[in-house]
Amino acid sequence: MSTPVAKKEDLQKDWYVVDLEDKVLGRAATRIATVLRGKHKAIYTPSVDTGDFVIVLNAEKVRLTGNKLSQKMYYRHSGYTGGLTATPASKMLEKTPEELIKKAVKGMLPKNKLGRQMYRKLKVYCGSDHPHQAQQPKELQV
């Protein structure tokens, strides 16, 4: 008896909506990454994108525990000498809270072509409105 392998054409992609108001960033990101990968399904196959779409609402109301708000830094480099830029989490939460969520989830996905495909199924919005009502998303508990 062999283990069944999920095929791309047999998959059904669901849509989930997550409200991050007063939720801890890391715990929410792990749950979101699990759903994007498809590990919550019985048909999970590591080499196939079995995951679902996730809509994240109220990104600006997420919480960071401990001293992360002041001490956690996000780095990027321009490619030039001395081009390293550091942004504290507090400033990132204030200016672009969507990027804060996206970076947390992206870091938990595979670093390959399949991971980039999974990452495209993540939709993050500030506020409680989103343009995906036609997909009839289900509530996802975090």
> What is the pLDDT averaged over residues 103-112?
98
Return the pLDDT at 108: 98
Structure tokens at 1: 């008896």
How far apart are the C-alpha atoms of 49 and 36, rounded to whole Å? 8
Fold designation for 13-89+96-139: Ribosomal Protein L13p; Chain: A; (3.90.1180)
Rounded to 5 degrees, φ, ψ at 133 are: -65, -30
How far apart are the C-alpha atoms of 142 and 140, rounded to whole Å? 6
Return the pLDDT at 8: 85
> What's the predicted TM-score (pTM) here?
0.94
| pLDDT, tens digit (0-9, with 9 covering 90-100), for 14-70 | 999 999 999 999 999 999 999 999 999 999 999 999 999 999 999 999 999 999 999
> What is the pLDDT averaged over residues 60-87?
97
How far apart are the C-alpha atoms of 106 and 74, rounded to whole Å? 13
**Per-residue confidence band for 118, with pLDDT thresholds at 50, 70 and 90:** very high
Rounded to 5 degrees, φ, ψ at 71 are: -100, -25
